[in-house]
């Protein structure tokens, strides 16, 4: 593996001479104080992860899995967050539906207003071109209509 300054890293198996530098590097990177048995296991190998985990100092117990109550609290917190997210999504959806309903109502009102304006324009146009009958003719038409009703 080439680094930026063109030096190469060589990988090799660890040996007993690496115990000290390994411990110093590890403590520098991870400031947890392990027993020497941990570093010996790293250098000399181990047959299972569990056997070398058992040799850790009691000072590292806080690094293990959280107790059941703490895990339960985390689970409850996650569930509450999910419920809150679902609630917010539902509220957003309701707001969108309400906005859509209001937009539809506004469109219908605008359409009704346009139709009323069109009817008024037609009525105004008709009235401007209509010549009213003279008063005498209107009376004659009314009398003729009354006579027709009496005959029936």
Structural domain contains residue 72: no
Structural domain contains residue 46: yes
Boundaries of domain holding 57: 16-63
Please answer whether residues 63 and 32 qualify as being in contact, where contact means their C-beta atoms are separated by less than 8 angstroms.
Answer: yes
Chain-centroid distance, C-alpha 134: 74
Burial readout 5-21 (b: 16 or more C-beta within 10 A, e: otherwise) = eeeeeeeeeeeeeebee
29: three-class secondary structure by DSSP? helix
- Whether pTM > 0.75 for this model: the answer is no
- Check whether 33 has a pLDDT greater than 70: no
43: three-class secondary structure by DSSP? helix
- Check whether 13 has a pLDDT greater than 70: yes
Structural domain contains residue 33: yes
List, for residues 58-98, the tens digit of each pLDDT value: 445 555 555 666 667 777 888 899 999 999 999 999 999 99
Structural domain contains residue 133: no
Structural domain contains residue 21: yes
Tell me what the mean pLDDT of segment 102-110 comes to.
94
Structural domain contains residue 31: yes
Domain count, the chain: 1
């Amino acid at each position: 593996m080439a680094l930026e300054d063109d030096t190469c890293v060589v990988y090799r198996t660890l040996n007993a001479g690496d115990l000290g530098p390994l411990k110093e590097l590890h403590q520098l990177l991870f400031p947890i104080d392990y027993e020497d048995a941990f570093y010996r296991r790293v250098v000399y190998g181990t047959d299972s992860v569990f056997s070398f985990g058992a040799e850790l100092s009691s000072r590292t117990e806080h690094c293990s899995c959280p107790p059941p109550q703490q895990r339960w609290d985390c689970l409850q917190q996650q569930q509450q967050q999910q419920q809150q997210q679902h609630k917010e999504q539902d509220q957003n959806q309701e707001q969108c539906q309400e906005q859509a309903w209001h937009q539809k109502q506004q469109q219908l009102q605008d359409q009704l207003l346009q139709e009323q304006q069109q009817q008024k324009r037609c009525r105004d146009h008709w009235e401007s071109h209509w010549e009213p009958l003279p008063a005498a003719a209107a009376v004659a038409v009314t009398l003729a209509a009354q006579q027709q009703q009496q005959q029936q």
